[in-house]
Amino acid sequence: MKKIITVLVLVMTASLGSVFAQERTITGTVTSADDGSPITGVNVTLKGTKKGTITDAQGKYSITTPPKGTLVFSFIGYMNNEIPIGINNVINVTMSVDSKALSEVVVTGYSLDQQLQGRVAGVRISKRKGEERKQMAPSAGYTEYEQQPDWNTEGYNSITENIFHDAFHNPLSTFSIDVDAASYSNMRRFISNGQRPPKDAVRIEEMINYFDYDYKQPAGEDPFSIYTEISSAPWNSKHKLVHIGLQGKKIPTANLPASNLVFLIDVSGSMSDENKLPLLKASFKLLVEQLREQDRVAIVVYAGAAGLVLPSTSGANKKTIIEALENLQAGGSTAGGAGIKLAYKIAKENFKEGGNNRVILATDGDFNIGESSDASMERLIEEKRNEGVFLTALGYGMGNYKDSKMETLADKGNGNYAYIDNILEAQKVLVNEFGGTLFTIAKDVKLQIEFNPAKVKAYRLIGYENRMLQNEDFNNDKKDAGELGSGHAVTALYEIIPAGVESEFYKIDELKYQKTKTEASASASNELMTVKFRYKKPDGDTSRLITHVLIDHNVALNKTSDDFRWSASVAAFGMLLRESEYVKDFSFEEVIQLAQGAKGKDTEGYRIEFINLVKTQGLMASR
- What pLDDT, in 10s, does the model give residues 301-344? 988 667 899 999 999 999 999 999 999 988 866 666 778 889 99
- At 37 the three-state DSSP class reads coil
Residue 106 lies in a domain: no
Residue 207 shares a structural domain with residue 74: no
pTM: 0.77
Residue 459 shares a structural domain with residue 556: yes
Boundary-marking domain end, from 95, 125, 150:
95
Range of the domain at 37: 17-95
Residue 272 shares a structural domain with residue 411: yes
The count of domains in the chain is 3
Most confident of 73-82, 100-109, 261-270, 446-455: 446-455
Q: Which of 224-228, 325-329, 406-410 has the lowest mean pLDDT?
A: 406-410
Q: In the predicted model, what is the mean pLDDT of residues 295-299?
A: 96
Residue 329 shares a structural domain with residue 393: yes
Residue 407 shares a structural domain with residue 459: no
Residue 148 lies in a domain: no
Residue 215 shares a structural domain with residue 260: no
Q: Provide the sign of the torsion angle of the four alpha carbons 523, 524, 528, 534, taken in this order.
A: negative
Residue 387 lies in a domain: yes
DSSP H helical segments within 202-247, as ranges? Answer: 204-208
First to last CA, the chain: 74
Residue 266 lies in a domain: yes
Residue type, 292: R
Residues 6 or more apart in contact with residue 617 via CB below 8 angstroms: 191, 196, 573, 577, 588
Residue 581 shares a structural domain with residue 473: yes
Boundary-marking domain end, from 45, 79, 95:
95
Looking at residue 2, what is its pLDDT? 52
Residue 244 shares a structural domain with residue 378: no
Residue 362 lies in a domain: yes
Q: Provide the sign of the torsion angle of the four alpha carbons 60, 290, 180, 568, taken in this order.
A: negative
pLDDT band per the 50, 70, 90 thresholds, residue 478: very high
Residue 550 shares a structural domain with residue 595: yes
**Is the predicted pLDDT of residue 569 greater than 70, yes or no?**
yes
Residues 6 or more apart in contact with residue 476 via CB below 8 angstroms: none
Residue 491 shares a structural domain with residue 546: yes
Write the CATH number for 54: 2.60.40.10
Looking at residue 42, what is its pLDDT? 82
Q: In the predicted model, what is the mean pLDDT of residues 112-135?
A: 33
Residue 190 lies in a domain: yes
Boundary-marking domain end, from 78, 95, 112:
95
Residue 190 shares a structural domain with residue 51: no
Question: How many CB atoms within 10 Å of residue 492?
Answer: 25
Q: Which burial class, exposed, middle or buried, applies to 520 when counting CB atoms under 10 A from its CB (0-12, 13-18, 19+)?
A: exposed
Looking at residue 335, what is its pLDDT? 63
**Is the predicted pLDDT of residue 18 greater than 50, yes or no?**
no
Write the CATH number for 578: 2.60.40.1230
Write the CATH number for 274: 3.40.50.410
Residue 130 lies in a domain: no
- At 159 the three-state DSSP class reads coil
Q: In the predicted model, what is the mean pLDDT of residues 531-560?
A: 94
Looking at residue 386, what is its pLDDT? 79
Residue 263 shares a structural domain with residue 246: no
Q: In the predicted model, what is the mean pLDDT of residues 594-598?
A: 97
Contact 313, 325 (CB under 8 A): no
DSSP state of 279: H
Residue 142 lies in a domain: no
- In whole angstroms, how far apart are CA 73 and each of 46, 76, 84, 274? 9, 11, 11, 22
